[in-house]
Structure 1
Amino acid sequence: MSAGADGTAGSPRRAAVLGKPIGHSLSPVLHRAAYAALGLDDWRYDRFEADEAALPAFLAGLDASWAGLSLTMPLKRAVIPLLDGISDTAASVEAVNTVVFTGGRRTGENTDIPGIVEALRERGVERVGRAAVLGAGATASSALAALSRICSGEVTAYVRSESRAAEMRGWGERLGVAVTTADWDAAAEAFDAPLVVATTPAGATDHLAGAVPERPGTLFDVLYEPWPTRLAAAWSARGGAVVGGLDLLVHQAVLQVELMTGRAPAPLAAMRAAGEAALAARSTREPAAG
Protein backbone atom coordinates (compact mmCIF):
# COMPACT_ATOMS: atom_id res chain seq x y z
CA MET A 1 0.00 0.00 0.00
CA SER A 2 1.14 3.55 -0.66
CA ALA A 3 1.19 6.38 1.83
CA GLY A 4 -1.70 8.81 1.93
CA ALA A 5 -1.40 12.58 2.18
CA ASP A 6 -1.06 12.23 5.94
CA GLY A 7 1.83 9.79 5.50
CA THR A 8 -0.18 6.71 6.49
CA ALA A 9 -1.06 3.67 4.43
CA GLY A 10 -4.40 3.98 2.70
CA SER A 11 -6.63 3.07 -0.21
CA PRO A 12 -5.98 4.24 -3.79
CA ARG A 13 -5.75 8.03 -3.98
CA ARG A 14 -6.61 10.56 -6.64
CA ALA A 15 -5.43 14.01 -7.68
CA ALA A 16 -5.90 16.19 -10.76
CA VAL A 17 -5.26 19.53 -12.40
CA LEU A 18 -8.19 21.85 -13.13
CA GLY A 19 -8.45 24.91 -15.34
CA LYS A 20 -9.69 26.21 -18.67
CA PRO A 21 -8.11 25.56 -21.11
CA ILE A 22 -6.34 22.55 -19.68
CA GLY A 23 -5.49 20.25 -22.59
CA HIS A 24 -1.83 21.25 -22.83
CA SER A 25 -1.08 21.06 -19.10
CA LEU A 26 2.10 19.13 -18.26
CA SER A 27 0.99 18.53 -14.69
CA PRO A 28 -0.25 14.97 -15.35
CA VAL A 29 3.12 14.07 -16.89
CA LEU A 30 5.05 15.46 -13.92
CA HIS A 31 2.85 14.03 -11.17
CA ARG A 32 2.58 10.60 -12.76
CA ALA A 33 6.36 10.48 -13.12
CA ALA A 34 6.64 11.28 -9.42
CA TYR A 35 4.18 8.54 -8.46
CA ALA A 36 6.11 6.01 -10.54
CA ALA A 37 9.44 6.98 -8.99
CA LEU A 38 7.98 6.90 -5.48
CA GLY A 39 6.33 3.52 -5.98
CA LEU A 40 2.83 4.96 -5.53
CA ASP A 41 1.26 2.51 -7.95
CA ASP A 42 -2.26 3.06 -6.61
CA TRP A 43 -2.21 6.82 -7.11
CA ARG A 44 -3.95 8.42 -10.10
CA TYR A 45 -3.58 11.94 -11.54
CA ASP A 46 -5.95 13.33 -14.19
CA ARG A 47 -6.90 16.63 -15.84
CA PHE A 48 -10.35 18.22 -15.96
CA GLU A 49 -11.50 21.33 -17.77
CA ALA A 50 -13.40 23.59 -15.37
CA ASP A 51 -14.13 27.29 -15.10
CA GLU A 52 -15.26 29.38 -12.13
CA ALA A 53 -18.90 28.38 -12.58
CA ALA A 54 -18.14 24.66 -12.59
CA LEU A 55 -15.70 24.66 -9.68
CA PRO A 56 -18.14 24.52 -6.70
CA ALA A 57 -19.96 21.47 -8.04
CA PHE A 58 -16.70 19.74 -8.91
CA LEU A 59 -15.39 20.18 -5.35
CA ALA A 60 -18.69 19.07 -3.85
CA GLY A 61 -18.55 15.85 -5.88
CA LEU A 62 -15.15 14.68 -4.61
CA ASP A 63 -15.00 11.70 -2.27
CA ALA A 64 -12.49 10.65 0.39
CA SER A 65 -10.14 9.13 -2.19
CA TRP A 66 -9.03 12.59 -3.31
CA ALA A 67 -5.71 13.87 -1.94
CA GLY A 68 -5.42 17.16 -3.77
CA LEU A 69 -5.84 19.41 -6.79
CA SER A 70 -3.55 21.53 -8.90
CA LEU A 71 -5.23 24.70 -10.15
CA THR A 72 -4.44 26.90 -13.10
CA MET A 73 -6.22 29.90 -14.57
CA PRO A 74 -8.95 31.00 -14.11
CA LEU A 75 -9.36 29.21 -10.77
CA LYS A 76 -6.51 30.44 -8.58
CA ARG A 77 -8.60 33.15 -6.92
CA ALA A 78 -12.07 31.75 -7.55
CA VAL A 79 -11.32 28.75 -5.31
CA ILE A 80 -10.49 30.75 -2.19
CA PRO A 81 -14.08 31.22 -0.89
CA LEU A 82 -14.63 27.47 -1.28
CA LEU A 83 -11.78 26.48 1.05
CA ASP A 84 -11.53 25.99 4.81
CA GLY A 85 -8.27 27.91 4.95
CA ILE A 86 -5.25 29.06 2.97
CA SER A 87 -1.57 29.38 3.80
CA ASP A 88 0.12 32.70 4.47
CA THR A 89 2.00 32.30 1.18
CA ALA A 90 -1.24 31.93 -0.78
CA ALA A 91 -2.86 34.79 1.13
CA SER A 92 0.05 37.11 0.31
CA VAL A 93 -0.95 37.14 -3.37
CA GLU A 94 -4.58 36.02 -3.05
CA ALA A 95 -3.87 33.05 -5.30
CA VAL A 96 -4.11 29.30 -4.68
CA ASN A 97 -2.60 26.83 -7.13
CA THR A 98 -2.79 23.79 -4.83
CA VAL A 99 -5.59 22.35 -2.73
CA VAL A 100 -4.83 19.61 -0.23
CA PHE A 101 -7.55 17.47 1.34
CA THR A 102 -6.74 16.26 4.86
CA GLY A 103 -8.99 15.43 7.78
CA GLY A 104 -12.08 16.58 5.92
CA ARG A 105 -10.61 20.02 5.29
CA ARG A 106 -9.76 21.81 2.05
CA THR A 107 -6.57 23.82 2.46
CA GLY A 108 -5.17 26.15 -0.18
CA GLU A 109 -1.46 26.61 -0.86
CA ASN A 110 0.65 28.49 -3.39
CA THR A 111 3.66 26.54 -4.64
CA ASP A 112 4.42 28.97 -7.47
CA ILE A 113 6.17 31.41 -5.13
CA PRO A 114 8.58 28.95 -3.47
CA GLY A 115 8.88 27.25 -6.87
CA ILE A 116 10.33 30.44 -8.34
CA VAL A 117 12.75 30.75 -5.43
CA GLU A 118 13.87 27.12 -5.74
CA ALA A 119 14.26 27.30 -9.53
CA LEU A 120 16.53 30.33 -9.14
CA ARG A 121 18.47 28.75 -6.28
CA GLU A 122 19.10 25.67 -8.39
CA ARG A 123 20.82 27.94 -10.95
CA GLY A 124 22.89 29.70 -8.29
CA VAL A 125 20.74 32.78 -7.78
CA GLU A 126 20.08 33.09 -4.06
CA ARG A 127 20.33 36.84 -3.50
CA VAL A 128 20.24 39.90 -5.77
CA GLY A 129 20.52 43.61 -5.08
CA ARG A 130 17.82 44.62 -7.56
CA ALA A 131 15.57 43.06 -10.19
CA ALA A 132 13.16 43.83 -13.02
CA VAL A 133 9.80 42.27 -13.89
CA LEU A 134 8.37 42.34 -17.39
CA GLY A 135 4.58 42.37 -17.31
CA ALA A 136 1.87 42.43 -14.67
CA GLY A 137 -0.93 40.17 -13.54
CA ALA A 138 -1.09 36.99 -11.44
CA THR A 139 2.30 35.59 -12.44
CA ALA A 140 3.96 38.96 -11.87
CA SER A 141 2.51 39.19 -8.38
CA SER A 142 3.91 35.73 -7.60
CA ALA A 143 7.25 36.90 -8.98
CA LEU A 144 7.17 39.90 -6.64
CA ALA A 145 6.38 37.62 -3.70
CA ALA A 146 9.36 35.45 -4.61
CA LEU A 147 11.58 38.50 -5.03
CA SER A 148 10.56 39.67 -1.55
CA ARG A 149 12.56 36.66 -0.30
CA ILE A 150 15.71 37.12 -2.37
CA CYS A 151 15.95 40.76 -3.54
CA SER A 152 17.41 43.28 -1.11
CA GLY A 153 16.75 46.35 -3.23
CA GLU A 154 14.38 47.85 -5.76
CA VAL A 155 12.25 45.99 -8.30
CA THR A 156 11.22 47.80 -11.48
CA ALA A 157 8.08 46.54 -13.22
CA TYR A 158 7.61 47.32 -16.91
CA VAL A 159 3.90 47.47 -17.75
CA ARG A 160 1.55 48.61 -20.50
CA SER A 161 -0.89 50.84 -18.59
CA GLU A 162 -1.17 53.04 -15.54
CA SER A 163 -3.78 50.73 -14.06
CA ARG A 164 -1.30 47.85 -14.25
CA ALA A 165 1.40 50.08 -12.81
CA ALA A 166 -0.81 50.97 -9.86
CA GLU A 167 -1.61 47.30 -9.33
CA MET A 168 2.07 46.36 -9.23
CA ARG A 169 2.90 49.18 -6.82
CA GLY A 170 0.06 47.98 -4.63
CA TRP A 171 1.42 44.44 -4.62
CA GLY A 172 4.82 45.83 -3.74
CA GLU A 173 3.42 47.64 -0.71
CA ARG A 174 1.55 44.55 0.39
CA LEU A 175 4.57 42.26 -0.04
CA GLY A 176 7.16 44.65 1.38
CA VAL A 177 8.98 45.10 -1.93
CA ALA A 178 10.21 48.48 -3.14
CA VAL A 179 8.49 48.58 -6.55
CA THR A 180 8.87 51.29 -9.14
CA THR A 181 7.11 51.11 -12.48
CA ALA A 182 8.08 52.07 -16.02
CA ASP A 183 6.35 52.08 -19.38
CA TRP A 184 6.50 48.94 -21.50
CA ASP A 185 8.11 50.93 -24.31
CA ALA A 186 11.22 51.23 -22.11
CA ALA A 187 11.36 47.50 -21.31
CA ALA A 188 14.85 47.08 -22.81
CA GLU A 189 16.16 49.16 -19.88
CA ALA A 190 15.31 46.19 -17.66
CA PHE A 191 18.29 44.30 -19.01
CA ASP A 192 20.72 46.24 -16.84
CA ALA A 193 19.31 44.47 -13.76
CA PRO A 194 21.14 41.40 -12.44
CA LEU A 195 17.85 39.47 -12.52
CA VAL A 196 15.04 39.92 -15.06
CA VAL A 197 11.77 38.00 -14.68
CA ALA A 198 9.63 37.86 -17.83
CA THR A 199 5.99 37.05 -17.01
CA THR A 200 4.43 37.96 -20.37
CA PRO A 201 2.55 35.74 -22.85
CA ALA A 202 4.23 34.03 -25.80
CA GLY A 203 5.61 36.49 -28.33
CA ALA A 204 5.31 39.58 -26.12
CA THR A 205 9.07 39.94 -25.60
CA ASP A 206 10.23 38.83 -29.06
CA HIS A 207 10.95 42.40 -30.14
CA LEU A 208 13.34 42.82 -27.21
CA ALA A 209 15.70 40.02 -28.27
CA GLY A 210 17.93 42.40 -30.21
CA ALA A 211 18.37 44.67 -27.19
CA VAL A 212 20.05 42.09 -24.94
CA PRO A 213 23.47 43.45 -23.95
CA GLU A 214 26.73 41.53 -23.85
CA ARG A 215 27.17 39.51 -20.65
CA PRO A 216 23.68 40.07 -19.21
CA GLY A 217 22.71 38.78 -15.77
CA THR A 218 20.04 36.12 -15.23
CA LEU A 219 16.77 35.87 -17.15
CA PHE A 220 13.85 33.95 -15.68
CA ASP A 221 11.36 33.50 -18.52
CA VAL A 222 8.24 31.79 -17.17
CA LEU A 223 7.21 30.37 -20.56
CA TYR A 224 7.99 26.76 -21.43
CA GLU A 225 6.20 26.40 -24.74
CA PRO A 226 7.42 27.48 -27.23
CA TRP A 227 10.97 27.16 -25.91
CA PRO A 228 13.35 28.78 -26.08
CA THR A 229 11.63 32.12 -26.55
CA ARG A 230 13.45 34.55 -28.81
CA LEU A 231 14.45 36.55 -25.75
CA ALA A 232 15.78 33.47 -23.93
CA ALA A 233 17.76 32.37 -27.02
CA ALA A 234 19.32 35.82 -27.42
CA TRP A 235 20.11 35.94 -23.71
CA SER A 236 21.94 32.62 -23.82
CA ALA A 237 23.79 33.60 -27.00
CA ARG A 238 25.18 36.64 -25.20
CA GLY A 239 26.43 34.62 -22.26
CA GLY A 240 23.60 35.20 -19.81
CA ALA A 241 22.09 32.59 -17.49
CA VAL A 242 18.54 31.51 -18.34
CA VAL A 243 15.95 29.89 -16.09
CA GLY A 244 12.90 28.65 -17.99
CA GLY A 245 9.25 27.98 -17.38
CA LEU A 246 9.81 24.24 -17.18
CA ASP A 247 12.14 24.85 -14.23
CA LEU A 248 9.31 26.67 -12.45
CA LEU A 249 6.72 24.10 -13.45
CA VAL A 250 8.82 21.24 -12.12
CA HIS A 251 9.76 22.92 -8.84
CA GLN A 252 6.18 23.96 -8.03
CA ALA A 253 5.00 20.43 -8.92
CA VAL A 254 7.64 18.91 -6.64
CA LEU A 255 6.14 20.87 -3.75
CA GLN A 256 2.62 19.82 -4.76
CA VAL A 257 3.60 16.15 -4.78
CA GLU A 258 5.13 16.47 -1.33
CA LEU A 259 2.02 18.22 0.03
CA MET A 260 -0.45 15.77 -1.49
CA THR A 261 1.39 12.51 -0.83
CA GLY A 262 3.24 13.31 2.39
CA ARG A 263 6.38 11.91 0.76
CA ALA A 264 9.55 13.99 0.59
CA PRO A 265 11.72 14.67 -1.21
CA ALA A 266 9.78 14.33 -4.43
CA PRO A 267 11.82 12.98 -7.38
CA LEU A 268 12.89 16.25 -9.06
CA ALA A 269 15.14 14.66 -11.69
CA ALA A 270 12.54 12.11 -12.80
CA MET A 271 9.86 14.79 -13.04
CA ARG A 272 12.08 17.12 -15.07
CA ALA A 273 13.08 14.32 -17.44
CA ALA A 274 9.42 13.44 -17.99
CA GLY A 275 8.56 17.08 -18.69
CA GLU A 276 11.42 17.49 -21.14
CA ALA A 277 10.45 14.31 -22.96
CA ALA A 278 6.81 15.41 -23.23
CA LEU A 279 7.77 18.82 -24.65
CA ALA A 280 10.16 17.21 -27.13
CA ALA A 281 7.42 14.85 -28.27
CA ARG A 282 5.00 17.73 -28.74
CA SER A 283 7.47 19.71 -30.82
CA THR A 284 7.78 16.83 -33.32
CA ARG A 285 4.06 16.35 -33.86
CA GLU A 286 2.54 19.82 -33.82
CA PRO A 287 3.50 23.40 -34.69
CA ALA A 288 4.63 25.56 -31.77
CA ALA A 289 1.99 27.86 -30.30
CA GLY A 290 2.44 31.59 -30.35
Structure 2
Amino acid sequence: MTSRFAVLGSPIAHSKSPLLHAAAYRELGLDWEYTRAEVSSGELGEFVLGLDDSWRGLSLTMPLKEEALALVDSVDVQSLLTGASNTVTLDHSNSKLTVQGFNTDVAGIVGALGDAAIRQTSHVLILGAGATARSAMVAAANLGAEQVTVAARSPHKTEEIVNVAARAGVAVSVVHLGDALTSDLVADVTISTLPGGALQLAPDDVLAVPQGAVLLDVAYDPWPSALGIAWQGAGGVTVSGLAMLVHQALGQVRIFVTGDPLLPLDREDEVFTAMKRAVGLSS
Protein backbone atom coordinates (compact mmCIF):
# COMPACT_ATOMS: atom_id res chain seq x y z
CA MET A 1 0.00 0.00 0.00
CA THR A 2 1.37 3.39 -1.04
CA SER A 3 1.97 5.83 1.84
CA ARG A 4 -0.01 9.02 1.28
CA PHE A 5 0.63 12.60 2.42
CA ALA A 6 -0.77 16.03 1.53
CA VAL A 7 -0.58 19.73 2.29
CA LEU A 8 -3.85 21.24 3.50
CA GLY A 9 -5.03 24.83 3.71
CA SER A 10 -7.08 27.53 2.07
CA PRO A 11 -6.12 28.83 -0.41
CA ILE A 12 -3.82 25.97 -1.40
CA ALA A 13 -3.58 25.89 -5.21
CA HIS A 14 -0.38 27.96 -5.17
CA SER A 15 1.46 25.66 -2.76
CA LYS A 16 4.85 24.37 -3.88
CA SER A 17 4.99 21.75 -1.12
CA PRO A 18 4.06 18.89 -3.51
CA LEU A 19 7.08 19.78 -5.67
CA LEU A 20 9.39 19.78 -2.66
CA HIS A 21 8.18 16.52 -1.16
CA ALA A 22 8.04 14.71 -4.50
CA ALA A 23 11.67 15.68 -5.15
CA ALA A 24 12.73 14.48 -1.70
CA TYR A 25 11.00 11.10 -1.91
CA ARG A 26 12.22 10.54 -5.46
CA GLU A 27 15.79 11.18 -4.28
CA LEU A 28 15.25 8.78 -1.36
CA GLY A 29 13.80 6.10 -3.62
CA LEU A 30 10.42 6.14 -1.85
CA ASP A 31 7.26 5.50 -3.85
CA TRP A 32 5.15 7.87 -1.75
CA GLU A 33 2.26 10.06 -2.85
CA TYR A 34 2.09 13.72 -1.78
CA THR A 35 -0.80 15.91 -2.95
CA ARG A 36 -2.67 19.07 -1.91
CA ALA A 37 -6.22 19.57 -0.65
CA GLU A 38 -8.36 22.64 -0.05
CA VAL A 39 -9.43 22.53 3.60
CA SER A 40 -10.96 25.60 5.21
CA SER A 41 -11.14 26.66 8.83
CA GLY A 42 -13.32 24.31 10.86
CA GLU A 43 -12.94 21.42 8.40
CA LEU A 44 -9.67 19.83 9.55
CA GLY A 45 -11.15 17.40 12.07
CA GLU A 46 -13.65 15.97 9.62
CA PHE A 47 -10.96 15.68 6.94
CA VAL A 48 -8.54 13.79 9.20
CA LEU A 49 -11.19 11.42 10.53
CA GLY A 50 -12.15 10.55 6.95
CA LEU A 51 -8.67 9.30 6.01
CA ASP A 52 -7.88 5.61 5.67
CA ASP A 53 -4.77 3.90 7.01
CA SER A 54 -2.74 4.65 3.87
CA TRP A 55 -2.38 8.23 5.12
CA ARG A 56 0.73 8.82 7.22
CA GLY A 57 1.13 12.58 7.48
CA LEU A 58 -0.09 16.06 6.63
CA SER A 59 1.49 19.47 6.14
CA LEU A 60 -0.68 22.34 7.33
CA THR A 61 -0.80 25.96 6.28
CA MET A 62 -3.26 28.83 6.84
CA PRO A 63 -5.73 28.66 8.50
CA LEU A 64 -5.14 25.24 10.09
CA LYS A 65 -1.98 25.48 12.19
CA GLU A 66 -3.79 26.39 15.40
CA GLU A 67 -6.78 24.16 14.69
CA ALA A 68 -4.46 21.15 14.55
CA LEU A 69 -3.75 21.36 18.28
CA ALA A 70 -7.32 20.29 19.05
CA LEU A 71 -6.74 17.01 17.16
CA VAL A 72 -3.31 15.88 18.30
CA ASP A 73 -2.49 13.34 20.99
CA SER A 74 0.97 14.85 21.56
CA VAL A 75 3.05 17.77 20.29
CA ASP A 76 6.70 18.76 20.12
CA VAL A 77 8.25 21.59 22.13
CA GLN A 78 8.05 24.08 19.27
CA SER A 79 4.30 23.52 18.95
CA LEU A 80 3.90 24.06 22.67
CA LEU A 81 5.88 27.30 22.53
CA THR A 82 4.09 28.71 19.49
CA GLY A 83 0.60 27.27 19.94
CA ALA A 84 0.69 26.03 16.35
CA SER A 85 1.59 22.86 14.44
CA ASN A 86 2.30 22.85 10.72
CA THR A 87 2.92 19.10 10.52
CA VAL A 88 1.06 16.05 11.82
CA THR A 89 1.79 12.34 11.60
CA LEU A 90 -0.99 9.75 11.46
CA ASP A 91 -0.57 6.29 12.99
CA HIS A 92 -3.40 3.80 12.47
CA SER A 93 -1.87 0.99 14.52
CA ASN A 94 -4.17 -1.29 16.55
CA SER A 95 -7.24 0.12 14.79
CA LYS A 96 -6.74 3.45 16.56
CA LEU A 97 -5.69 6.75 15.03
CA THR A 98 -2.86 8.50 16.88
CA VAL A 99 -1.95 12.03 15.76
CA GLN A 100 1.32 13.76 16.63
CA GLY A 101 1.89 17.46 16.00
CA PHE A 102 5.14 19.21 15.08
CA ASN A 103 6.22 22.74 14.21
CA THR A 104 8.93 22.99 11.56
CA ASP A 105 8.29 26.67 10.80
CA VAL A 106 10.69 27.77 13.55
CA ALA A 107 13.55 25.76 12.05
CA GLY A 108 12.50 26.93 8.59
CA ILE A 109 12.89 30.59 9.57
CA VAL A 110 16.22 29.99 11.31
CA GLY A 111 17.48 28.05 8.28
CA ALA A 112 16.39 30.68 5.77
CA LEU A 113 18.11 33.45 7.73
CA GLY A 114 21.18 31.23 8.04
CA ASP A 115 21.34 31.12 4.24
CA ALA A 116 21.69 34.92 4.43
CA ALA A 117 24.51 34.52 6.99
CA ILE A 118 22.24 35.58 9.87
CA ARG A 119 23.04 33.25 12.75
CA GLN A 120 22.69 35.76 15.56
CA THR A 121 20.77 38.99 15.97
CA SER A 122 19.83 41.38 18.75
CA HIS A 123 16.65 43.13 17.47
CA VAL A 124 13.98 41.65 15.22
CA LEU A 125 10.89 43.29 13.71
CA ILE A 126 8.01 40.90 13.00
CA LEU A 127 5.21 41.99 10.68
CA GLY A 128 1.99 40.22 11.64
CA ALA A 129 0.82 38.47 14.79
CA GLY A 130 -0.64 35.14 13.65
CA ALA A 131 0.60 31.56 13.86
CA THR A 132 3.64 32.09 11.61
CA ALA A 133 4.52 35.27 13.52
CA ARG A 134 4.60 33.25 16.72
CA SER A 135 7.04 30.85 15.06
CA ALA A 136 9.09 33.89 14.01
CA MET A 137 9.15 34.99 17.66
CA VAL A 138 10.61 31.66 18.79
CA ALA A 139 13.06 31.73 15.88
CA ALA A 140 14.19 35.20 16.98
CA ALA A 141 14.76 33.87 20.48
CA ASN A 142 16.79 30.97 19.07
CA LEU A 143 18.96 33.52 17.25
CA GLY A 144 19.66 35.35 20.51
CA ALA A 145 17.37 38.35 20.02
CA GLU A 146 16.99 40.47 23.14
CA GLN A 147 14.25 42.69 21.73
CA VAL A 148 11.46 41.94 19.27
CA THR A 149 9.01 44.49 17.91
CA VAL A 150 5.69 43.15 16.66
CA ALA A 151 3.86 45.24 14.07
CA ALA A 152 0.17 44.33 13.84
CA ARG A 153 -2.93 45.72 12.18
CA SER A 154 -4.73 45.38 15.51
CA PRO A 155 -2.16 45.92 18.27
CA HIS A 156 -4.83 45.20 20.90
CA LYS A 157 -5.10 41.64 19.53
CA THR A 158 -1.50 40.60 20.14
CA GLU A 159 -1.88 38.88 23.50
CA GLU A 160 -0.98 35.45 22.13
CA ILE A 161 2.30 36.50 20.52
CA VAL A 162 3.22 38.58 23.57
CA ASN A 163 2.71 35.44 25.66
CA VAL A 164 4.96 33.50 23.28
CA ALA A 165 7.66 36.13 23.78
CA ALA A 166 7.36 35.72 27.54
CA ARG A 167 7.71 31.94 27.25
CA ALA A 168 10.71 32.38 24.96
CA GLY A 169 12.35 34.92 27.27
CA VAL A 170 12.32 37.83 24.81
CA ALA A 171 11.42 41.45 25.54
CA VAL A 172 8.63 42.55 23.20
CA SER A 173 7.00 45.80 22.13
CA VAL A 174 3.96 46.26 19.88
CA VAL A 175 3.37 48.93 17.23
CA HIS A 176 0.78 49.51 14.54
CA LEU A 177 1.62 47.87 11.23
CA GLY A 178 1.08 51.13 9.38
CA ASP A 179 3.85 52.80 11.40
CA ALA A 180 6.39 49.99 11.38
CA LEU A 181 8.18 50.41 8.08
CA THR A 182 8.35 54.17 7.93
CA SER A 183 9.57 54.74 11.49
CA ASP A 184 13.15 54.39 12.63
CA LEU A 185 13.00 51.03 14.43
CA VAL A 186 16.52 50.04 13.36
CA ALA A 187 15.92 46.28 13.56
CA ASP A 188 18.74 44.05 12.34
CA VAL A 189 16.28 41.58 10.84
CA THR A 190 12.68 42.00 9.71
CA ILE A 191 10.42 38.98 9.22
CA SER A 192 7.17 39.56 7.36
CA THR A 193 4.60 36.85 8.06
CA LEU A 194 1.84 38.60 6.11
CA PRO A 195 0.06 36.78 3.27
CA GLY A 196 1.21 37.64 -0.24
CA GLY A 197 -0.19 40.97 -1.39
CA ALA A 198 -1.55 41.81 2.07
CA LEU A 199 0.78 44.75 2.60
CA GLN A 200 -0.03 47.69 0.37
CA LEU A 201 2.65 50.36 0.05
CA ALA A 202 1.78 53.82 -1.17
CA PRO A 203 3.99 55.27 -3.94
CA ASP A 204 5.27 57.95 -1.57
CA ASP A 205 6.08 55.58 1.31
CA VAL A 206 9.75 55.76 2.22
CA LEU A 207 10.97 52.67 4.06
CA ALA A 208 13.27 53.25 7.02
CA VAL A 209 15.68 50.43 6.18
CA PRO A 210 19.17 50.38 7.72
CA GLN A 211 21.76 49.76 5.01
CA GLY A 212 22.15 46.02 4.54
CA ALA A 213 19.33 45.07 6.93
CA VAL A 214 17.76 41.71 6.10
CA LEU A 215 14.10 41.10 5.28
CA LEU A 216 12.70 37.57 5.24
CA ASP A 217 9.31 37.71 3.55
CA VAL A 218 7.63 34.35 4.15
CA ALA A 219 5.22 35.01 1.27
CA TYR A 220 6.64 33.69 -1.98
CA ASP A 221 3.74 34.07 -4.38
CA PRO A 222 4.13 36.46 -6.07
CA TRP A 223 7.88 36.96 -5.77
CA PRO A 224 9.46 39.38 -5.52
CA SER A 225 6.76 40.83 -3.30
CA ALA A 226 5.94 44.52 -3.27
CA LEU A 227 7.61 44.75 0.12
CA GLY A 228 10.68 42.90 -1.14
CA ILE A 229 11.05 45.26 -4.10
CA ALA A 230 10.70 48.35 -1.89
CA TRP A 231 13.11 46.88 0.65
CA GLN A 232 15.82 46.26 -1.91
CA GLY A 233 15.24 49.72 -3.36
CA ALA A 234 15.90 51.18 0.08
CA GLY A 235 19.26 49.42 0.38
CA GLY A 236 18.20 46.28 2.26
CA VAL A 237 18.74 42.58 1.59
CA THR A 238 15.76 40.31 0.87
CA VAL A 239 15.33 36.60 1.51
CA SER A 240 12.49 34.84 -0.31
CA GLY A 241 9.93 32.83 1.60
CA LEU A 242 10.90 29.95 -0.68
CA ALA A 243 14.04 29.54 1.43
CA MET A 244 11.92 29.15 4.56
CA LEU A 245 9.55 26.81 2.71
CA VAL A 246 12.38 24.48 1.70
CA HIS A 247 13.96 24.42 5.16
CA GLN A 248 10.67 23.73 6.93
CA ALA A 249 9.82 21.07 4.33
CA LEU A 250 13.11 19.33 5.02
CA GLY A 251 12.03 19.09 8.66
CA GLN A 252 8.73 17.60 7.53
CA VAL A 253 10.47 15.02 5.36
CA ARG A 254 12.63 14.05 8.34
CA ILE A 255 9.48 13.61 10.43
CA PHE A 256 7.65 11.54 7.81
CA VAL A 257 10.71 9.34 7.13
CA THR A 258 12.32 9.02 10.57
CA GLY A 259 9.73 10.35 13.04
CA ASP A 260 12.22 12.94 14.32
CA PRO A 261 12.64 16.51 12.95
CA LEU A 262 16.20 16.61 14.29
CA LEU A 263 17.40 13.30 12.79
CA PRO A 264 19.21 13.87 9.48
CA LEU A 265 18.18 11.81 6.47
CA ASP A 266 20.43 9.45 4.60
CA ARG A 267 22.12 11.48 1.85
CA GLU A 268 20.48 14.61 3.20
CA ASP A 269 22.68 16.98 1.22
CA GLU A 270 21.52 15.42 -2.05
CA VAL A 271 17.90 15.43 -0.89
CA PHE A 272 18.07 19.10 0.10
CA THR A 273 19.69 20.04 -3.22
CA ALA A 274 16.93 18.22 -5.13
CA MET A 275 14.26 20.04 -3.12
CA LYS A 276 15.78 23.45 -3.82
CA ARG A 277 16.08 22.73 -7.52
CA ALA A 278 12.43 21.65 -7.61
CA VAL A 279 11.33 25.18 -6.73
CA GLY A 280 13.96 27.06 -8.70
CA LEU A 281 16.42 27.85 -5.91
CA SER A 282 20.11 27.47 -6.75
CA SER A 283 21.89 24.61 -5.05
TM bracket (short chain): 0.7 to 0.9
Q: How many residues align?
A: 266
Range 260-269 or range 150-159, more displaced: 260-269
Hey, what does 2:262 align to over in structure 1?
none
Counterpart amino acid of residue 198 in structure 1: S
Hey, what does 1:189 align to over in structure 2?
183
In the TM superposition, residue 255 of structure 1 has moved relative to its aligned partner by 0.8
3-state DSSP class of the match of 2:156?
A: helix
3-state DSSP class of the match of 2:215?
A: strand
Q: Is the 8 A contact 2:14 2:221 kept in 1?
A: no
1:54 aligns with 2:47: no
1:174 aligns with 2:167: yes
After superposition, the CA RMSD in angstroms is 2.2
In the TM superposition, residue 238 of structure 1 has moved relative to its aligned partner by 4.5
More helix by share: 1
Task: Specify every segment of 5 or more residues in structure 2 that has no aligned partner in the other structure, as ranges.
Answer: 259-264
In the TM superposition, residue 112 of structure 1 has moved relative to its aligned partner by 0.6
**Normalised TM-score (structure 2):** 0.85
Alignment of 1:149-228 (within 5 A): 149-187=142-180, 188-189=182-183, 192-201=186-195, 202-207=197-202, 210-213=206-209, 215-228=211-224
Deviations 1:176-220 (A, max 9, x none): 211011223321226621111112231415348632446231111
| Alpha-carbon spacing, 1:268–1:231, altered in 2? closer, same or farther (3 Å) | same
| Alpha-carbon spacing, 1:22–1:149, altered in 2? closer, same or farther (3 Å) | same
Hey, what does 1:4 align to over in structure 2?
none
Range 245-254 or range 224-233, more displaced: 224-233
3-state DSSP class of the match of 1:250?
A: helix
Q: Is the 8 A contact 1:216 1:238 kept in 2?
A: no
Hey, what does 1:119 align to over in structure 2?
112
Q: Is the 8 A contact 1:114 1:146 kept in 2?
A: yes
Deviations 1:69-92 (A, max 9, x none): 111122212222222111111111
| Alpha-carbon spacing, 1:142–1:190, altered in 2? closer, same or farther (3 Å) | farther
3-state DSSP class of the match of 1:243?
A: strand
1:258 aligns with 2:258: no
Counterpart amino acid of residue 268 in structure 1: F
Alignment of 1:1-290 (within 5 A): 11-40=1-30, 42-102=31-91, 104=93, 105-187=98-180, 188-189=182-183, 192-201=186-195, 202-207=197-202, 210-213=206-209, 215-262=211-258, 263-264=265-266, 265=268, 267-276=271-280
Deviations 1:213-257 (A, max 9, x none): 462311111110111112212333444322111111111111111
3-state DSSP class of the match of 2:4?
A: strand
Deviations 1:116-147 (A, max 9, x none): 01111122100011111122222211110111
Task: Specify every segment of 5 or more residues in structure 1 that has no aligned partner in the other structure, as ranges.
Answer: 1-10, 278-290
Q: Is the 8 A contact 1:212 1:234 kept in 2?
A: no
* Aligned sequence identity (%): 39
Q: Give the distance between the partners of 2:2 and 2:190, measured in 1 at CA.
A: 43
| Alpha-carbon spacing, 1:169–1:52, altered in 2? closer, same or farther (3 Å) | closer
